[in-house]
């Protein structure tokens, strides 16, 4: 009798697990949509490839003048174009994308020695990091380790953070975006065994958790510190509507950042932080029904404020990862929102027809609203995280979720 009960219990557990897996499986219709999007993205990036001048990297495109804006390798967005090419090569195995990614990587190589920016994580890990993952090149690994050493020079123990900008009037500014650069440091400790990178990353994450976040788990954009004492001088915004507002992309960087820190440390407090941030975002009355955020959650003219597709893409990618670390119902909630974002970014309103939009995938992102710069345009990082979100979604089924 007890044997029958044991078998029945096992069957119940197995059935429950099967249901759990089924509930968190990717949806076939969305998988088809994503595969179609990625096939189009391959073609669209070939359009972009045809436009980017030798020695330059794309930033955005201005429809009114049909003008592609590009940058040098030392601009913070330089890694996204090669990174997107690597991701699309991973999907398509189209070697023309791989060749273009490798060509543009050579422009970034010297940035491994750049100690004047906190954005080396974005620049190098999104580019060389994807290259290393796909090609396993020892040279890429060396370049990334040198980059991690350069980034580490911007950390000062008195503050407990990596310094973001060297510009005035700031003293020792740290922006929430900087959470994204920690992934390079975690990787560096993982491959080198040198724990100093890890210690810098967790110290930065802890200081940011303490000082950037408000009681409702929204984040300030900039915290300015005294570089000698580490005291907080001011909490401000640069790219948001107001010092006290929740600039949308900053909230997405924080969500993605703490989810990644949890992946890298397995420390529960970072998972809790990511879940609190997700709660702030997903229950926010100013998050539209289609889940594409306004450029600032407190923008003055909501519901007429501009949307930021880049904030949505980063959020979708982060939510898919976060769904791996929580219980089934919570995971389903995160996936529901990520799915909605992917579907809505795939609509004609956001996703460009191949050949249009200067070769970029997504329309309607906001770079720096207060500076009137890159407002309601395509942006290279919106494309990068949109593609990453779609690839992460495709992998759901393979991870038993
Ligand atoms: N600083 C990066 C951004 O604009 O999100």
**What average pLDDT does the segment 295-316 reach?**
98
Determine the distance separating the centroid of ligand 1 and the alpha carbon of 310, expressed in angstroms. 10
Mutate to test the pocket of ligand 1, among 126, 221, 381 (most ligand atoms within 8 A of CB): 381
List strand residue ranges (DSSP E) for 267-395, in order. 365-368, 373-377
Q: Could you tell me the pLDDT band of residue 254, with boundaries at 50, 70 and 90?
A: very high
Phi, psi of 368 (to 5 degrees): -135, 90
pLDDT at 12: 45
Q: For residue range 328-380, what is the model confidence (pLDDT) as tens digits?
A: 999 999 999 999 999 999 999 999 999 999 999 999 999 999 999 999 999 99
Q: Is 119 a catalytic residue?
A: yes
Mutate to test the pocket of ligand 1, among 77, 249, 251 (most ligand atoms within 8 A of CB): 249
Helices 95-108/28-49 angle, 10° precision = 60
**What average pLDDT does the segment 281-307 reach?**
98
pLDDT at 399: 52
C-alpha 135/C-alpha 115 separation (Å) is 27
Residue 86, burial from CB neighbour count under 10 angstroms (0-12, 13-18, 19+) = buried
- Measured from CB, residues less than 6 Å from any atom of ligand 1 are 177, 239, 249
Question: Picking from 35-39, 114-118, 309-313, 394-398, which range would have the lowest pLDDT averaged per residue?
Answer: 394-398
pLDDT at 48: 98
Q: Could you tell me the pLDDT band of residue 398, with boundaries at 50, 70 and 90?
A: confident
Residue 122 has pLDDT above 80, yes or no: yes
C-alpha 385/C-alpha 381 separation (Å) is 6
pLDDT at 10: 43
Q: Could you tell me the pLDDT band of residue 20, with boundaries at 50, 70 and 90?
A: low
Q: Which residue's CA is the closest to the ligand 1 atom numbered 1?
A: 177
Mean pLDDT computed over every residue of the chain: 95
**What average pLDDT does the segment 289-302 reach?**
98
| Residue owning tokens 């990068």 | 384
pLDDT at 349: 98
């Amino acid at each position: 009798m007890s044997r029958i009960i044991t078998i029945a219990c096992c069957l119940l557990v197995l059935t429950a697990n099967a249901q759990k897996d089924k509930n968190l499986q990717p949806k076939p219709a969305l998988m088809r949509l994503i595969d179609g999007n990625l096939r189009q993205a391959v073609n669209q990036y070939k359009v972009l490839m045809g436009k980017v001048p030798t020695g330059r990297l794309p930033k955005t495109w201005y429809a009114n003048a049909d003008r592609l804006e590009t940058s040098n390798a030392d601009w913070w967005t330089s890694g996204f174009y090669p990174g997107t090419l690597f991701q699309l090569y991973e999907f398509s195995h189209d070697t023309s994308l791989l060749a273009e990614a490798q060509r543009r990587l050579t422009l970034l190589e010297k940035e491994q020695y750049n100690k004047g920016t906190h954005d080396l994580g974005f620049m190098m890990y999104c580019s060389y990091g994807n290259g290393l993952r796909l090609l396993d090149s020892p040279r890429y690994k060396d370049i990334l380790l040198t980059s991690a050493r350069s980034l580490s020079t911007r950390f000062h123990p008195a503050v407990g953070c990596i310094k973001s900008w060297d510009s005035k009037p700031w003293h020792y500014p740290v922006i929430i975006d900087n959470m994204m650069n920690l992934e390079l440091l975690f990787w560096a400790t993982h491959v080198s065994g040198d724990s100093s990178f890890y210690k810098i990353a967790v110290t930065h994450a802890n200081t940011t958790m303490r000082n950037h976040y408000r009681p409702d788990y929204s984040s300030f954009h900039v915290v300015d510190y005294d570089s000698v004492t580490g005291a907080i001088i001011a909490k401000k915004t640069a790219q948001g509507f107001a010092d006290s507002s929740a600039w949308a992309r900053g909230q997405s960087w924080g969500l993605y950042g703490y989810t990644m820190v949890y992946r890298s440390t397995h420390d529960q407090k970072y998972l809790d932080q990511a879940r609190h941030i997700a709660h702030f975002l997903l229950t926010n009355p100013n998050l539209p029904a289609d889940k594409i955020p306004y450029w600032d959650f407190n923008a003055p003219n909501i519901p007429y404020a501009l949307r930021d597709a880049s904030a949505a893409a980063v959020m979708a990618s982060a939510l898919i990862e976060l769904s791996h670390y929580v219980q089934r119902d919570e995971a389903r909630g995160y996936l529901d929102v990520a799915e909605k974002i992917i579907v809505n970014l795939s609509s004609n309103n956001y996703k460009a027809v191949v050949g249009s939009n200067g070769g970029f995938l997504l329309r309607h992102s906001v770079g720096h609203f207060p500076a009137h710069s890159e407002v309601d345009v395509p942006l290279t990082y919106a494309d990068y995280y949109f593609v990453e979100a779609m690839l992460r979604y495709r992998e759901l089924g393979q991870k038993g979720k």
